[in-house]
Amino acid sequence: MRRNLSPDDLGDLLDLPILAIIAIRSLKDEILMSPVWHEWSDEGFSVITWARDIKSRQLSKNASSSIVVAEQVRPYRSIEVRGMATISQPNNSYEILRRIASRYLGDANGDTYTKDYEDNNVEIELIRIKPGTLRAWDFSDDGF
Query: How many structural domains compose the chain?
Result: 1
Residue 144 lies in a domain: no
The residues near 126 (Cβ < 8 Å, ≥ 6 apart) are: 46, 47, 48, 87, 88, 89, 90, 93, 96
Domain carrying residue 34: 7-135
Residue 141 lies in a domain: no
Q: What is the CATH number of the domain that holds 39?
A: 2.30.110.10
DSSP at 11? T
Residue 140 lies in a domain: no
Residue 92: pLDDT above 70? Answer: yes
The model's confidence at residue 143, banded by pLDDT at 50, 70 and 90, is low
Residue 86 lies in a domain: yes
The stretches of the chain forming alpha helices (DSSP H) are 54-61, 93-105, 107-119
Average pLDDT, stretch 67-84?
96
Average pLDDT, stretch 2-22?
96
